[in-house]
A and B are shown apart, each in its own frame.
Chain A
């Protein structure tokens, strides 16, 4: 063996030794180390045109008031910086003159920014609505992606379930509604992943709305052994008969136990909504605030390993700047309030939650 051949073979052997441990027979990409930096991760998406000016840069009216520019931080729970003291139009009351107070927890411990890491510059693959959401959940651009089509590439939910071994109720996507193809984001159209690795999904402002109360809240309770078991047994026979013709349906893959858990959660939520006792931020006068409240209920009940929440009320600046800054102010208030208001999440340091927004 000459010197060149020796070096070449040595390099290949070393590379193989480095790569091999990460390709496991189980199909996982990495062996679990048991030392994750967070047991639970929450990803909050502010869809619909949040600008640097009013968020990261804390400029408020600096750029828009030519005669008397006025900067300030209107997201003071999340971001570090002084709030405006004048020209307040984003709060509550007539004219929005009453800012929503900073939460005690953050007043004492500092803003979320001071407790974590803020990436102030992130490259967006797409600035469109569905494109932006799509890019976030699949980590890829929108090339060839239709607007009424599931993501073409596997989503983070599918990676977690397929390669991380998480069960269906460990992974959630809480959408702000059913418009804009939002319900298509919980799994991709990729043939190697898809629905069987998808996330559970709720659009709570629809599911637990009046039409939900009318049609879903009066479910009959069946005995699990005497009634449900034979019912499922007969269904299995019918499915097996139909399977010989190729007729089968894939599903998200909640186990029967998980299905019962979700149904129980839904029943509880209908009761809570009816009683007005579900989690909400102190100010909940828009859809985002309600959605974050419902998301907190999901977190409290299922303790998911990964949850993605979509907010959309800030998408109003096309026609109304005041409504936009109001929505931004409420998004800041809602996300952090519900982050600390549920019992589980109150101890989120103990449970090691990571919040990305």
Chain B
């Protein structure tokens, strides 16, 4: 039979009687297995706890090197001011309007001032701004620039707001929306 062994017969070949373990060996193995099973089954299961390190998911100004298209600008601006999305048709219309005026700065200023004349702009009041100016500044940077202000920026903006009696959240938002950084992503 061994002479006729081929590749397939190697696979399907069963062990002979001489190659089988004897009964004593099998009993010993069964006993060891039973003991091992008892030991492991009694062991308290360890529950792994996995956590992620906290990583701040905010960009920096240095990463912003692409200019927003007209459509990106108006839809992001609308979302920032109204906290809701601008429809596709309105985005398209505003893009057309922007193309029809040569000076984009003028288009943007006019559009922002029109937005501020509409109901629904999500703005803190002057009292809320002054009550917690640090939070207001941080929130404004996060809302418009998608980043946190550094200490120098916070200090300058805080002093500026506090030293200008006419400064309102609306004017602060206007400045941020018109700033160069807001034109990039």
The closest CB in chain A to the CB of B116 belongs to: A220
CB neighbours of B47 from chain A (8 A): none
Q: Does B128 contact A (CB under 8 A)?
A: no
The closest CB in chain A to the CB of B150 belongs to: A241
CB neighbours of B99 from chain A (8 A): 178, 183, 203, 206
Q: What's the least CB distance linking B2 to chain A, in Å?
A: 79
* Category for how many chain A residues contact B: 35 or more
Q: Which of A203, A218, A220, A251 lies in contact with B105, CB distance below 8 A?
A: A251
Q: What's the least CB distance linking A342 to chain B, in Å?
A: 21
Q: Evaluate contact between B117 and A262: CB separation under 8 angstroms.
A: no
The closest CB in chain A to the CB of B156 belongs to: A237
- Given A220-B114, A230-B167, A243-B180, residue A200 in contact with residue B61 (CB < 8 A): no
Q: Does B171 contact A (CB under 8 A)?
A: yes
Contact stretch, chosen from A51-59, A78-86, A106-114, A207-215: A207-215
Question: Which of B94, B96, B110 has the largest count of A CB atoms less than 10 A from its CB?
Answer: B110
Beyond contacts A201-B103, A234-B157, A247-B64: 16 other A-B pairs, Cβ-Cβ < 8 A, are A173-B102, A183-B102, A203-B99, A207-B101, A215-B97, A220-B117, A226-B166, A231-B171, A235-B178, A238-B175, A238-B179, A238-B180, A242-B179, A247-B180, A259-B105, A259-B106
21 inter-chain pairs at a CB distance below 8 angstroms, sorted by A residue, are: A198-B102, A201-B102, A206-B99, A206-B100, A212-B97, A216-B110, A219-B113, A222-B171, A223-B166, A226-B166, A230-B171, A231-B178, A232-B175, A234-B167, A241-B61, A242-B64, A242-B180, A245-B61, A247-B64, A247-B181, A249-B180
Q: Complex formed: what's the CA distance from A173 to B111 in Å?
A: 22
The 8 closest A-B CB pairs, nearest first, are A201-B102, A206-B100, A234-B175, A238-B179, A203-B100, A242-B181, A220-B113, A219-B113
Q: What's the least CB distance linking A354 to chain B, in Å?
A: 23
The closest CB in chain A to the CB of B107 belongs to: A216
The closest CB in chain B to the CB of A243 belongs to: B180
Residues of B in contact with A (beta carbons under 8 Å apart): 61-62, 64-65, 67, 93-94, 96-97, 99-107, 109-111, 113-114, 116-118, 153, 156-157, 160, 164, 166-167, 171-172, 174-176, 178-181, 183-184
CB neighbours of A272 from chain B (8 A): none
CB neighbours of B184 from chain A (8 A): 242, 247
**Residues of A262-306 contacting chain B, CB below 8 A:** 262-263, 266
Q: What's the least CB distance linking A191 to chain B, in Å?
A: 17
Q: Which of A220, A231, A242, A252 lies in contact with B103, CB distance below 8 A?
A: A252
Q: Complex formed: what's the CA distance from A117 to B178 in Å?
A: 48
Q: Evaluate contact between B117 and A247: CB separation under 8 angstroms.
A: no
CB neighbours of B103 from chain A (8 A): 168, 200-201, 251-252, 254, 259, 262
Q: Evaluate contact between A252 and B110: CB separation under 8 angstroms.
A: no
Q: Evaluate contact between A262 and B106: CB separation under 8 angstroms.
A: yes
CB neighbours of A242 from chain B (8 A): 61, 64, 179-181, 184
Q: Does A46 contact B (CB under 8 A)?
A: no
Q: Evaluate contact between B175 and A231: CB separation under 8 angstroms.
A: yes
Q: Evaluate contact between B97 and A239: CB separation under 8 angstroms.
A: no
Q: Complex formed: what's the CA distance from A199 to B102 in Å?
A: 8
Q: Which of B64, B102, B111, B116 lies in contact with A200, CB distance below 8 A?
A: B102
- Given A220-B117, A234-B157, residue A245 in contact with residue B167 (CB < 8 A): no
Q: What's the least CB distance linking B74 to chain A, in Å?
A: 9
Q: Evaluate contact between A202 and B101: CB separation under 8 angstroms.
A: yes
Q: Complex formed: what's the CA distance from A215 to B103 in Å?
A: 16
Q: Evaluate contact between B102 and A234: CB separation under 8 angstroms.
A: no
- Given A178-B99, A251-B104, A254-B106, residue A235 in contact with residue B61 (CB < 8 A): no
Q: Evaluate contact between A234 and B180: CB separation under 8 angstroms.
A: no
Q: Which of B100, B113, B172 lies in contact with A222, CB distance below 8 A?
A: B113
Q: Evaluate contact between A230 and B94: CB separation under 8 angstroms.
A: no
The closest CB in chain B to the CB of A230 belongs to: B164
CB neighbours of A122 from chain B (8 A): none
